[in-house]
């Protein structure tokens, strides 16, 4: 059987995408890693092809996907991993910030899927892996844009899974909990509230939210990648996976009354002032 050809988005060094590429390559796959800048992907230990690609650009995505298809004749697996947190109170964010959050976290998933799917349909096989978040299942304060964008990814994934099944294309939704990565590095350095923000008394709580996914109990990135890749390459891949710090707790919260979930999360992150 020929090697699997894998395309992964959002592969900056130290992140989930970077480790996913390493694991797929370790399993003998032909791997294409993408990021906006090539230099952010330095350091792969295994053989990984690097491509510069901005997932918010129609032209970039089409050109890179087409170049891989010309080189390999197929793309067996695509992992929509690119994303960015968007920390800040919802009443403070601008609509431009909201559009950017959805462009990066949500529309990119649809953009890449639409570019890759025709080839998969032609071959009557393929796997689209969308990286969501447990915060897309149950939103948390101070990260509302990211939660909403990931919730949209979950809805898109479920609908896409049903629509693609007749053509032999499988869609897998992965909802990570806390996983060690570099996702919060840039946000922490630039985080600030407007001088007129009504949330200035809560700044420390907002700042804590930036680093929440990197706190004690977060899953090592390599372990996360190992488990995800093993499932994706298994003979019968699941349609849904949730793993990482807090994933079991969030799964349990689904069984609680909605008002109680909001009270539990809100009491820990909002109503207690610093």
Coil, helix or strand at residue 14: coil
In this structure, of 48-62, 89-103, 164-178, 214-228, the range with the lowest mean pLDDT score is: 214-228
Q: Is the pLDDT of residue 110 over 60?
A: yes
Domain that holds residue 218: 5-269
How many domains does the chain divide into? 1
pLDDT, mean of residues 176-196: 77
Residue 274 belongs to a domain: no
Residue 79 belongs to a domain: yes
- pLDDT tens-place string over residues 26-51: 999 999 999 999 999 999 999 999 99
Long-range CB pairs of 246-253, under 8 A, 24+ apart, other chains included: 246/134, 246/177, 246/178, 246/217, 247/134, 247/175, 247/176, 247/177, 250/134, 250/137, 250/138, 250/177, 253/138
| CA 157 – CA 169 distance, rounded (Å) | 12
Q: Average pLDDT over the chain, rounded to whole?
A: 93
| CA 130 – CA 72 distance, rounded (Å) | 22
Residue of 67, 18, 16, 79 whose CA lies nearest to 46: 18
* Helices first, then strands: H and E counts in the chain: 10, 7
Model confidence pTM above 0.85: yes
Residues 224 and 174 sit within 8 Å (Cβ to Cβ)? no
Residue of 143, 129, 157 whose CA lies nearest to 101: 143
- pLDDT tens-place string over residues 200-217: 988 888 888 877 767 678
Residue of 262, 16, 210 whose CA lies nearest to 130: 16
Please give the positions annotated as active site: 146, 150
Any idea what the CATH number is for the domain that residue 109 is in? 3.40.50.720
Residue 206 belongs to a domain: yes
Residue 63 belongs to a domain: yes
């Amino acid at each position: 059987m020929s090697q699997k050809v894998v395309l992964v988005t959002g592969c900056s060094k130290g992140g989930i995408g970077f480790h996913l590429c390493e694991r797929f390559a370790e399993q003998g796959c032909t791997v294409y890693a993408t990021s906006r800048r090539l230099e952010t992907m330095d350091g792969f230990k295994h053989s990984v092809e690097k491509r510069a690609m901005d997932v918010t650009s129609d032209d970039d995505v089409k050109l890179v996907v087409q170049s891989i298809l010309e080189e390999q004749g197929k793309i067996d697996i695509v992992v929509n991993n690119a994303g960015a947190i968007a920390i800040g109170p919802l009443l403070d964010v601008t609509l431009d910030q909201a559009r950017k959050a959805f462009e990066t976290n949500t529309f990119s998933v649809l953009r890449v899927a639409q570019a890759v799917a025709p080839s998969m349909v032609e071959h009557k096989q393929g796997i689209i892996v969308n990286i969501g978040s447990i915060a897309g299942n149950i939103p948390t304060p101070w990260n509302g844009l990211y939660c909403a964008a990931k919730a949209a990814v979950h809805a898109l994934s479920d609908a896409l899974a049903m629509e693609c099944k007749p053509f032999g294309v499988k869609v897998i939704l992965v909802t990570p909990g806390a996983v060690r990565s570099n996702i919060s590095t840039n946000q922490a350095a630039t985080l600030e509230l407007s001088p007129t923000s009504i949330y200035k008394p809560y700044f420390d709580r907002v700042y804590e939210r930036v680093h929440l996914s990197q706190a004690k109990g977060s899953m090592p990135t390599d372990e996360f990648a190992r488990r995800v890749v093993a499932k994706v390459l298994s003979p019968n891949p699941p349609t849904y996976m949730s793993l990482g710090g807090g994933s079991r707790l969030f799964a349990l919260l689904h069984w609680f009354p909605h008002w109680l979930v909001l009270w539990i999360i809100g009491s820990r992150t909002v109503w207690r002032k610093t």
